[in-house]
Structure 1
Amino acid sequence: MSKKCWLFLDDSGQLSNNGTHNYFLYGGIFIPNEKKLNELRNKINNQKKFLGITKEIKGASIKKKHRKKLLQVVKKIEDIETLFLIEHTPSLNRVDFENHYSVRMHKNYLVKRLIEQLHNKNLIDDDTFLYIYIDNEALSSGIYKDSLQNHLNAYYKRSNKGAFLKHLEYTSFIPSFETQFKVKYIDSRSELLMQVADLLANTKYRRYKLESKDGSEHIKCPLVCLKLPKQFRSGKEKIV
């Protein structure tokens, strides 16, 4: 029987070269089973009520004390993992920022990098059914609705001849496994745990913008924190 896991992802910053954003970031939470899914949802709901928050949790506008309390809820629940991927956009030279399709495919590539980290850390395997929820209302329909899901369900499988040949050639970089994927683009207003992903992504982004009192010290120690491209080391270090 397949085990069900969940990955909630939100982005912060901008994947562009317009000079206004130097970073693009994915942040989110990995939840290993339905029991932990319900535990997190219930505890976040209870904390919202205790703090008197009646509207959607928005990382960009939440009060500092509320940010702290909600992040501490995530921090205290065992087996729930936080994940981040940060790109220094001025260092990217293979993305055509003027081409929406190129930008979309690059975002799909970043999601794959996070999935591969989950596999490398033995959190997903051949018996896993992984639900991936991504906050992006604009991509919830049309040509993008199923493209990532279909791609993921073919890309890693040993039974896919084209993927298998690619794995043989790039075996050091591309793992091979049989995880099943269900991808859904949703509006964060309709999903509480997507709001948690928004809070995590925004908090980490504030750190890379070097904002004072960004609240990042309250984030649970990340299971994954990828920095791309390779020469990019840290938001508080120079690009070398």
Structure 2
Amino acid sequence: MAQVRRSPLADQAAELLLERIRSGEWALGAKLPGETTLAPQLGVGRSTVREAIRQLAGRGVLASRQGAGVFVTALDVPEDWDVVLRRADIVSVIEARIAVETEAAALAAERRTPTDLRTIRRAFDHRDQQRGETVELVDADTAFHRAIVVAAHNPILTELFDGFTPRLRQAMIDMLRLRGDHGDDADQDAHADLVEAIAGRDAGGAQARSRAHLQALKAALT
């Protein structure tokens, strides 16, 4: 059984526990042995084991349940979201946007307030004003779609959308420059239809229009 040899002890103990979890010694949902068992196995004191468990809990691998013990909640450290997005190709990001934005559009149609609708309409008008530009249109388009996501009143959807934005922005700018497409009438009309579906509280229509728009964007990138 591998034991800790150098400091910082808690960091090493955490890594040794993580290696054992990765190796399959404990299944997902399994309860870890107690500190009195783990401490001699790792060659450290119980306080070091506690700190190692806290580290892995903070990384999403373990969870302490009061009165029940420590349980495995992931079989590896979840990868940083920014790293995942940087590595993902743009089509994968668009597919993720479809999942997020089509649901957000439906929820926005159901939940939008008068203030939300005014914000969406202002963003739509600003997007219209930026047609013929490149960077400005991409940023105005992002603001428009974000206004719809915000109107869904689901903070997790908003956070996911904001995570996509930096990864997608430059790709969209490059695509517009290559195609020379800076928001034609058909594109703006499609966005107008989405606004009206949300205004009319047509959840199914908003979802369908959002999906059609993003599927067309995906097709343009492939």
The structure number with the bigger radius of gyration is 2
TM-score by length of 2: 0.23
Asked which structure has the greater RCO (Cα within 8 Å, sep 6+), the reply is 1
TM-score by length of 1: 0.22
Structure richer in helix, relative to its length: 2
Structure richer in strand, relative to its length: 1
